[in-house]
């Protein structure tokens, strides 16, 4: 006769099944996102006593998108009460459309262009490479797709004496680099790729899934850098402590921020997530 205790699956097996369920749900959501191209958008922030309805009424009565060869894909209100216009057009037509919007609202709001961003990883840089040299190489390669406000972050030297650089670019520029695969910086033909962004759950502070499918403990009231309740990460003033690695109970180091290069929990979640979506 099989007892209830015998029928109960071991805790480790149940945990693995839960993790796999999260990965499957994340995989389905990622596949859905991949099929959808993120459009560029124009954000209008009302100022003074103006609100969303006032600004929208004003621009609709004075601006005609067809004159700028712009297609408005959607108009919606953000959580902050701003006007978000998803547009489709060439870069020149978008610039013309933004200019007309600024003229139409006459100081009643701020107009800003929003473009989808990707982080690009550049490998094999030699130890003498400087940030300005990377910027000049990317600018020469990308041409009109380059943005002078692009920030470049350099890593420390690895055991081979090489450096890495990370640049946050708009999707068009990032895809252009990723398709080429290499870019010449100094003497080296450096490898380039779009860095995969592992989703983070802001309910449990874990990685590899998002809050709507989270089955882990709710840590939303904890500081994501040290795990304490008396402050948020913006007021972080204590030594770092990884609450994710602490739960592993396998002797992992804890003196780091969750998701950093020293975080074993992040490495495991990233490995499983990337395996699931590829």
User: Where does CATH 3.30.70.330 sit in the chain?
Assistant: 117-194
Greatest C-alpha distance within the chain = 81
Per residue in 50-99, pLDDT tens? 888 888 888 888 888 888 888 888 898 988 889 898 887 666 677 788 88
Q: Is pLDDT at 28 greater than 70 in this prediction?
A: no
3-state secondary structure 102-138: HHHHCCCEEEEEECCEEEEEEEEEECCCCHHHHHHHH
Provide the percentage of residues in the chain whose pLDDT is more than 70: 82
48 falls in which pLDDT band (50, 70, 90)?
confident
Q: Coil, strand or helix: which one is 12?
A: helix
Q: Is pLDDT at 41 greater than 50 in this prediction?
A: yes
Q: Which fold has domain 40-114?
A: Alpha-Beta Plaits (3.30.70)
Strands 188-194 and 162-170: unpaired
Helices marked H in the chain = 4-7, 11-35, 52-62, 91-105, 131-142, 171-180, 243-248, 264-277
| Residue 277, C-beta contacts closer than 8 angstroms, at least 6 positions apart | 26, 27, 30, 31
Give the whole-angstrom CA distance, residue 53 versus residue 55: 6
The residue assigned the tokens 């592993």 is 248
Question: Which pLDDT score, from 0 to 100, does residue 198 have?
Answer: 82
CB 117 within 8 A of CB 168: yes
Question: Which pLDDT score, from 0 to 100, does residue 214 have?
Answer: 87
Question: Which pLDDT score, from 0 to 100, does residue 130 have?
Answer: 92
Better-predicted residue by pLDDT, 255 or 34: 255
Q: In what order do the strands lie in the sheet with 117-126?
A: 152-154, 162-170, 117-126, 188-194, 182-185
Residue 217: which of 15, 6, 7 has the closest Cα?
15
pTM: 0.55
| Residues 239-253 as b or e (16 or more Cβ within 10 Å = b) | ebbbbbbeeeeeebe
Q: How many CB atoms lie within 10 A of CB 128?
A: 9
32 falls in which pLDDT band (50, 70, 90)?
very low
Residue 185: which of 138, 241, 231, 252 has the closest Cα?
138
Question: Which pLDDT score, from 0 to 100, does residue 21 have?
Answer: 59
Tell which CATH architecture fits domain 117-194: 2-Layer Sandwich (3.30)
Q: What are the CA-CA distances from residue 10 to residues 3, 6, 13, 16, 247 (Å)?
A: 14, 9, 5, 10, 18
Q: Is pLDDT at 133 greater than 90 in this prediction?
A: yes
Mean residue pLDDT of the chain comes to 80
User: Where does CATH 3.30.70.260 sit in the chain?
Assistant: 40-114
Q: Is pLDDT at 33 greater than 50 in this prediction?
A: no
For the residues of 65-95, what is the DSSP string, one character each? GGGGT-EEEEEEE-TTS-EEEEEE--HHHHH
pLDDT (mean) for 156-184: 89
Q: Is pLDDT at 39 greater than 60 in this prediction?
A: yes
4-8, 37-41, 92-96, range with the lowest pLDDT:
4-8
**Tokens at 81, concatenated:** 């009460």
137 falls in which pLDDT band (50, 70, 90)?
very high
Question: Which pLDDT score, from 0 to 100, does residue 260 have?
Answer: 81
């Amino acid at each position: 006769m099989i007892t209830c205790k015998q029928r109960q699956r071991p805790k480790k097996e149940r945990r693995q099944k839960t993790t796999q369920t999260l990965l499957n749900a994340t995989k389905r959501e990622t596949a859905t996102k991949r099929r959808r191209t993120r459009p560029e958008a124009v954000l209008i922030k009302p100022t003074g006593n103006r609100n969303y309805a006032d600004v929208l009424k004003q621009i609709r009565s004075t601006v005609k998108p067809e004159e700028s060869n712009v297609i408005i894909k959607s108009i919606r209100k953000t959580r902050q009460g701003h006007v978000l216009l998803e547009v489709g057009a060439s870069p020149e037509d978008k610039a013309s459309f933004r200019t007309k919007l600024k003229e139409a609202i006459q100081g009643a709001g701020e107009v800003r262009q929003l473009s989808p961003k990707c982080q690009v990883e550049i490998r094999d840089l030699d130890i003498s490479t400087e940030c300005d040299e990377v910027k000049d190489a990317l600018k020469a390669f990308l041409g009109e797709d380059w943005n002078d406000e692009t920030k470049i972050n350099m890593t420390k030297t690895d055991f081979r004496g090489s450096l890495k650089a990370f640049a946050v670019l708009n999707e068009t520029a990032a895809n252009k680099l990723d398709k080429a695969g290499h870019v010449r910086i100094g003497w080296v033909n450096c490898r380039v790729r779009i860095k995969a962004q592992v989703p983070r759950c802001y309910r449990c502070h874990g990685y590899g899934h998002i809050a709507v499918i989270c089955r882990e403990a709710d840590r939303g009231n904890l500081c994501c850098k040290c795990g304490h309740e008396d402050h948020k990460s913006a007021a972080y003033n204590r030594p770092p402590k990884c609450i994710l690695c602490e739960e592993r109970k396998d002797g992992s180091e804890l003196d780091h921020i969750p998701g950093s290069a020293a975080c074993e929990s992040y490495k495991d979640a990233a490995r499983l997530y990337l395996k699931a979506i590829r």
